[in-house]
Amino acid sequence: MRRVAAGISLTIVIAFLAVTALLVHPFGHPPAQMDDYIIKNTQRETGANNAVAAVVFDYRGLDTLGEATILFTAVAGVVMLFRKREGETTR
């Protein structure tokens, strides 16, 4: 029974990977018109010479702020977990 379940699972994964590989767009041919818009208008709208930086900080600024907040919260949580408390000894 385990071999049948493993075979079915493997078949599903291989089918998923095959379909995904067939649906990938060719390199250098973006599927969206937004790419051309950003390339043509970044300098004029944002004043940035780097289109990647303009997308991250200007066009998607609130999204970047949210990601930074999540990263800060995660780091603060790890620091709180591993901090040494007062009066605590290490073994």
Q: If you count them, how many residues does the chain have?
A: 91
Smallest Cα–Cα separation from 40: which of 28, 57, 27, 54?
Answer: 54
Number of domains in the chain: 1
Asked whether residue 87 is assigned to any structural domain, the reply reads: no
Please return the burial class of 49, using the count of CB atoms within 10 Å of its CB with bins 0-12, 13-18 and 19+. Answer: exposed
User: Tell me: the pLDDT tens digits for 21-80?
Assistant: 998 877 776 667 777 888 888 889 888 888 888 888 888 888 888 889 999 999 999 999
Asked whether residue 62 is assigned to any structural domain, the reply reads: yes
Return the pLDDT at 71: 95
Residue with tokens 């049948």: 4
**Whole-structure pTM value:** 0.42
Asked whether residue 10 is assigned to any structural domain, the reply reads: no
Asked whether residue 68 is assigned to any structural domain, the reply reads: yes
- Which pLDDT band holds residue 85 (cuts at 50, 70, 90)? confident
Following DSSP, what letter does each residue of 43-87 receive, concatenated?
HHHH--S-HHHHIIIIITHHHHHHHHHHHHHHHHHHHHHHPPPTT
Return the pLDDT at 34: 79
Return the pLDDT at 12: 97
- Structural domain boundaries, residue 41: 28-82
